[in-house]
Structure 1
Amino acid sequence: MRRPDLMATVTLPRSPSPERLSAWGPVALAMFGVGWGANQFASLLGLYADRLHLGGGETRAMFGIYALGLVPGLALGGPASDRLGRRRLVVPFASLSALVTAVLMAGAAVPSLLYAGRLAAGVVTGAVLAAGTAWVKELAPRSGTRITALAVSAGFGAGPLASALVAQWLPHPLLTAYVPHLLIMGVAVPLLVRAPEPDRPATSPQAARTEAEAPDGRGEFWAAVAPVAIWSFTAPVNAFTVLPAEVPVHHLRIAYAGLVTAVTLGSGMAAQPFARRLEARHPRLVARTGLGLTTAGLVMAALTAASGMPALNVAAAVLLGAAYGFVLTYSLGEAARIAAPGELARLSAIVYALVYAGMFTPLLVTALTALAPLTALLGTGAALAALSLTWIWIRV
């Protein structure tokens, strides 16, 4: 018997490294750009109120309606990309992100288009984040969760900072503030088209039976992940949309709003490496730290509302931003850990739905201030965060 022939029948071709930057980089860049587009509106709320004579409730409704559009986007992007492939979902929706920005630019002349643009931004962002998170995870199995969290957080933070700086010092601010996003997507989409599609082998009947018999992680998800994920934006959004309107800043108001937004989300980015180190010890430490910071940050936010001091607003932004970094890292990591085969995109979509449900917070706070002062509302939020921390401390 010839040994070389036997060896030839069992030797497998080497596959390319799943951690190559050239593979996952274009997808991460697209997620960064879509995150930029989703949040660039945040630092312009005061400017829209002044230039278009809109009330605070109207601008916060425009901000919050984004979360309403996010739900169908997530529902489509996650499960549909599991069936049809990642590229077929992400490329067209990432391309639409630039079109949505054009609609927001037209909103300077027709304010009703701002509602349509923000709603469409939610749909686009939901589809890209759900499918893109799974895509990056498949191209970079070891570090995909960290990459997506950093890319999205960087986009969310850089977008409002850049739009605020442009709007503060360049002419026609309600138009020029959006130009950087158009440039980013003009680079990101052509690169995305060439990103590799992960292999999607056909499922045999035996594999389908094995998959159907896999442990169902839904109970664990709703008990251990959902009570944490819901705080991802519910708390931090107060720092950069609610409090800047309450703090008496008379000079460079737009730049101040952009700075607070960038500090909030930049703190989230800075916290994520520390969260990953804690995660290596045990995920529950990440959840506990995130909810502890959420509680402390909302207490600081209540003190800001009571005193009107800009310095306290920045301190609250740092605490709540760091909380966002820990909470998001835990939520995405745990969803990936407990996902059954073929369910990663679906669970990621649910996580993002919980994360961005917090975008409704400014509108809810505006409505509730007719019943209670802002200080009391933020204090109540701190108490609820402490209850969540107690639950997770016992449960996880």
Structure 2
Amino acid sequence: MALVMFAIGFGANHFAPLLPVYRQELGLSQAKVTFLLAIYILGLIPALIYGGTRSDVLGRRAIMRPAAVISLLGTILLMSFPERFDVVVAIGRLVTGVAVGLMLAAGASWLKELTASAGGTTALGARRATVATSAGFGLGPAVSGAVAEWLPAPLYTPLFAHLVLIIFSGIAVWNVPEASRPAQRQKTQWRRITPIVPTLLWAPWVFGSATTAFATLTTYVSVTAMVAFTGLISSITMLSGVAVQKTINARINATGKAPVAFGLVLSALGMGIGAWVVISHSVLALLLAAPVLGVAYGILMVSGLFQVQQQAHRDDLGQFTAIYYSATYLGFFAPWILALLSVAVPGQWACIFGAIVALATAAAWRLKAGKAPGTQ
């Protein structure tokens, strides 16, 4: 189960270091490259809501099977005439977003239920889901960046690793049993969403932290192998989020509370270091900012999943997990917001503004939600 989540995550983020390749090989403008990121979200969020809701009724496997097939299709499309950016590549990214959306809600819910059926805790289930997807998000760019930098046909060869991985994992997951029976009713009790509303308010900082590292800060430095370096920064960011999971899981199990405020403070610190990157154009500063923002991402992701899955009723688990993930993916707009701010003010001040917002969010969380059970 975790393997197919890893594979779909791998297929989603292995595209990150290929953005410079598309600019170089196809002569695409920065606006068109940014559109690739945006259209991915347009496929992901609707699929999240649909997949989460339907997995509560149809079962998790009924959603995860097509997610694997759609992920395979998305990569095949990216390999088909990539010079036709306006049609094939855009559609390929949109389809990949759909696969990730279906996987995130149904897969995280399925792992939580499988973990519970084996005697594991909610925190452990959240950690397993975060590690599986984050590892895919992290290793995908490292592999694709290296292959695109040093092997021929950089528009095609980086995608073969995902083809093999998704076929193998898709076969493996096909007959994984359901951990619990599907819900008997289809109508969501929306009053149950009230306890997770405070979580949704800070959720965009999950991917807002991570994407700032590899989509914004990398544009302020210059190295010889820029494609591979972009992949490296993406991997450092995401894998730092994986590395912190065991510690966070132990803390949540020991205290029953999620360290949300600490994660937001780390986001602010990472943004502050990002201001240093903008001013100095220092590779060293970027290599420091990436793991700080990555650890913030990991802490916030598992904290949010823990809180949502702790509060959700079984019949609403998939849907509420989908709502949470949708809020986290709004953070993909953080690089765009920083770019807009940088038009009006120097880039370092845009980063400092982001740090102030993160600190204010942490303070608001402590004041409004810190006393509620399962929060911090």
TM-score, scaled to structure 2: 0.91
Contact 2:56 2:183 in 1 (8 A): no
1:183–1:157 CA distance, 2 compared to 1 (3 A): same
| In 2: Cα distance, 1:291 partner to 1:220 partner | 20
Structure 1 residue identity aligned to 2:206: S
Q: Secondary structure at the match of 1:124?
A: helix
Structure 2 residue identity aligned to 1:319: V
1:69 aligned to 43, 55, 75, which one?
43
Structure 2 residue identity aligned to 1:158: L
Shift of 1:119: 1.7
Contact 1:64 1:363 in 2 (8 A): no
Shift of 1:145: 1.6
Contact 1:146 1:329 in 2 (8 A): yes
2:140 aligned to 159, 181, 186, which one?
159
Aligned to 1:6: none
Aligned to 1:375: 348
Contact 2:113 2:180 in 1 (8 A): no
1:387–1:188 CA distance, 2 compared to 1 (3 A): same
| In 1: Cα distance, 2:101 partner to 2:144 partner | 22
Q: Deviations over 1:100-126 (max 9, x none)?
A: 011112253211222222222111110
Structural mapping, 1:20-99, within 5 Å = 27-99=1-73
Contact 2:270 2:292 in 1 (8 A): yes
1:313 aligned to 278, 286, 289, which one?
286
| In 1: Cα distance, 2:178 partner to 2:192 partner | 27
**Quick one: percent identity of the two aligned structures?**
34
Shift of 1:378: 1.2
Shift of 1:368: 3.6
Contact 2:183 2:315 in 1 (8 A): no
Structural mapping, 1:292-303, within 5 Å = 292-303=265-276
| In 2: Cα distance, 1:149 partner to 1:58 partner | 30
Aligned to 1:138: 113
| In 2: Cα distance, 1:199 partner to 1:244 partner | 44
Contact 1:236 1:264 in 2 (8 A): yes
Q: Structure 2 unaligned runs (5+)?
A: 371-376
| In 2: Cα distance, 1:357 partner to 1:348 partner | 15
1:240 aligned to 214, 226, 236, which one?
214
Aligned to 1:129: 104
Shift of 1:57: 2.5
Contact 2:57 2:183 in 1 (8 A): no
Aligned to 1:24: none
1:325 aligned to 298, 319, 331, which one?
298
Provide runs of 4+ in structure 1 moved above 6 Å. none
Contact 1:87 1:197 in 2 (8 A): yes
Is 1:178 the counterpart of 2:178? The answer is no
Q: Deviations over 1:56-110 (max 9, x none)?
A: 2321221232112111111111011111111111101211101101111225321
TM-score, scaled to structure 1: 0.87
Q: Deviations over 1:217-256 (max 9, x none)?
A: 4222112x1133210011221111111122122x111111
| In 2: Cα distance, 1:145 partner to 1:63 partner | 26
Structure 1 residue identity aligned to 2:147: V
| In 2: Cα distance, 1:360 partner to 1:94 partner | 26
Aligned to 2:89: 114
Q: Secondary structure at the match of 1:195?
A: coil
1:56–1:203 CA distance, 2 compared to 1 (3 A): closer
Q: Structure 1 unaligned runs (5+)?
A: 1-26
Q: Secondary structure at the match of 1:236?
A: helix
| In 1: Cα distance, 2:268 partner to 2:180 partner | 43
| In 1: Cα distance, 2:336 partner to 2:170 partner | 33
| In 2: Cα distance, 1:125 partner to 1:365 partner | 25
1:171–1:264 CA distance, 2 compared to 1 (3 A): same
Contact 1:64 1:362 in 2 (8 A): no
Higher deviation after alignment, 272-281 or 259-268? 272-281
1:147 aligned to 117, 128, 146, which one?
128
Q: Secondary structure at the match of 1:196?
A: coil
Contact 1:64 1:361 in 2 (8 A): no
- Computed over aligned residues only, the root mean square deviation of the Cα atoms, in angstroms, reads 2.0
| In 1: Cα distance, 2:183 partner to 2:356 partner | 49
| In 2: Cα distance, 1:310 partner to 1:63 partner | 24
Shift of 1:36: 0.5
Q: Deviations over 1:18-76 (max 9, x none)?
A: xxxxxxxxx21111011011111111111211111112232122123211211111111
Contact 1:65 1:360 in 2 (8 A): no
Structure 1 residue identity aligned to 2:173: L
Contact 2:112 2:126 in 1 (8 A): yes
| In 2: Cα distance, 1:304 partner to 1:28 partner | 35
Larger Rg: 1
